[in-house]
Amino acid sequence: MADPRFFEVAGPFSLAEIAAMAPAEPGPGADPDARMTDVKPLDAAGPQDVSFLDNRRYIDQFAASRAGACLVHPDFAGQAPEGMAVLLTAEPYRAYARVARAFYPQPAAASGVHAAAHVHETARVAGDSRIEVGAVVGASAEIGSRCLVSANAVIGAGVVLGEDCVIGPGALLAYCLIGKRVVIHAGARIGQDGFGFAPGADGHLKVPQIGRVIIEDDVEIGANTTIDRGAGPDTVIGAGTKIDNLVQIGHNVRLGRGCIVVSQAGVSGSTHVGNGVLMAGQAGLVGHLRIGDGARIGAQCGVMRDVERGETVIGSPAVPVRQFWRQVAALTRLVGNGRGK
């Protein structure tokens, strides 16, 4: 069970209920009335726990698991150990997400403005939102229903939050408009000046940054990530896009809908990224590029040119993934593998 100091488990749920919420097809012999009390990783699960197999790297753990039930792709179900009820689905990780959310629903925090929060007299805060201790809400800001503004977060003047947003401890939101169901983790910095200087030998002139940050619905932004506001155009994060920790998004960048941006990646100013793009960890994009829908940018990739719709690139400078691995192979042939002959 998850540490009760931090998490409260719901349930139990019957196997039939779990199969319905996943959704998944119970395998032969599964008892629909068996009661499951928790979700656990394969190597920690016991007879009353639901687990999942999503990565063939863990197939040995699957075969040895004591889990009472397991969400699994039909291709692997044959390797289930004796006594495990398999729950068959083509998308075991998505199914697990739904089941885990049933066992661990987001607890509702008590609403209200803490006596040691600081809400400007001209700000509007929905009565069912929660503003924690030390949080600051600036002049004319608007906080929608059921929002949580955590301790010591700062919401700048004029900022608008839609319904059901969660703003982490110590985060900053300035010069931005935030949609619904947006999650912004601790220490993220949204809306400060973009890095706009007109360079020169007698001093780099600062260029006023007069755009905003627009964050659409269902976006999640990681801890200590930074998103600069636009220089004139806005910086835009499309609906459903998920951004990890320590990511940098420069001014005037547009990220499309449903993108995934992994930790420590960076997007330079004025680059436009399509919908459903994956950027892996520590990838970097120079400025003023166009990245097509569904493109995949590999880890540590250095993108210096436009990327076409659906293209997969990796390397620094970025090349098509097939070319990259051929280059790696060619280099290895040239010099050997460093372990002697």
Looking at the Cβ atoms of 63 and 319, the one nearer to a copy of itself is 319
Minimum separation from the CB atom of position 82 to a copy of itself (A) = 24
Binding residue for a copy of itself, selected from 185, 255, 277, 296, defined by CB under 8 A:
185
* Residue with the two structure tokens 């929608």: 144
3-class secondary structure, 191? coil
Interface stretch with a copy of itself, choices 14-22, 24-32, 81-89, 92-100 (CB under 8 A): 92-100
Residue 72 interacts with a copy of itself (CB under 8 A)?
Answer: no
Q: Is 302 in the site for a copy of itself (CB under 8 A)?
A: yes
Distances (CA, A) of 298 to 57, 116, 174, 257: 20, 45, 31, 19
**Per rule CB under 8 A, is residue 282 in the interface with a copy of itself?**
yes
- Do 165 and 180 touch, CB atoms closer than 8 A? yes
Contact at 8 Å (CB) between 240 and 182? no
Q: Which stretch binds a copy of itself (CB under 8 A): 28-36, 61-69, 78-86, 168-176?
A: 168-176
- What size, in residues, is the chain? 341
Closest CA to 129 of 111, 116, 141: 111
Q: Please report the sign of the dihedral spanned by the C-alpha atoms of residue 70, residue 72, residue 74, residue 77.
A: negative
Residue whose CB is less far from a copy of itself, 79 or 332: 332
Residues 124-163 that bind a copy of itself (CB under 8 A): 132-134, 136, 140, 150-152, 154, 156-158
Residue 260: Cβ within 10 Å count = 16
Closer Cβ to a copy of itself, 25 or 193, answer by number = 193
In the set 114, 204, 251, 272, the catalytic residue is 251
Question: 180 or 212, CB closer to a copy of itself?
Answer: 212
Q: CA 300 to CA 31: how far, in whole Å?
A: 47
Q: Locate 17 and state its tokens.
A: 């209920």
| Chosen residue from 28, 29, 33, 57 binding a copy of itself by CB under 8 A | 57
- 185 labelled catalytic: no
Tokens 């990220």 found at: 255
Question: Which of 10, 15, 6, 88 is CA-nearest to residue 50?
Answer: 15
Please identify, among the stretches 20-28, 59-67, 87-95, 122-130, the one whose residues bind a copy of itself according to the rule CB under 8 A: 87-95
Per the CB < 8 A criterion, the answer to whether 132 and 144 are in contact is no
Determine, following the binding rule CB under 8 A, whether residue 5 of this chain makes contact with a copy of itself: yes
Q: Which of 20, 97, 122, 310 forms a contact with a copy of itself (CB under 8 A)?
A: 97
Binding of a copy of itself by 20 (CB under 8 A)? no
Tokens of 69: 């039930």
Is 29 or 217 the residue whose CB approaches a copy of itself more closely? 217
> Whose Cβ is closer to a copy of itself: residue 17's or residue 306's?
306
Separation between Cα atoms, residue 160 and residue 41, nearest integer Å: 39
Query: Site for a copy of itself (CB under 8 A): which residue of 47, 61, 63, 91?
Result: 91
Residue 111 binds to a copy of itself (criterion: CB under 8 A): no
Query: Distance between CA 330 and CA 26 in Å, rounded?
Result: 48
The verdict on 232 binding a copy of itself (CB under 8 A) reads yes
Q: What residues are annotated to the active site?
A: 251
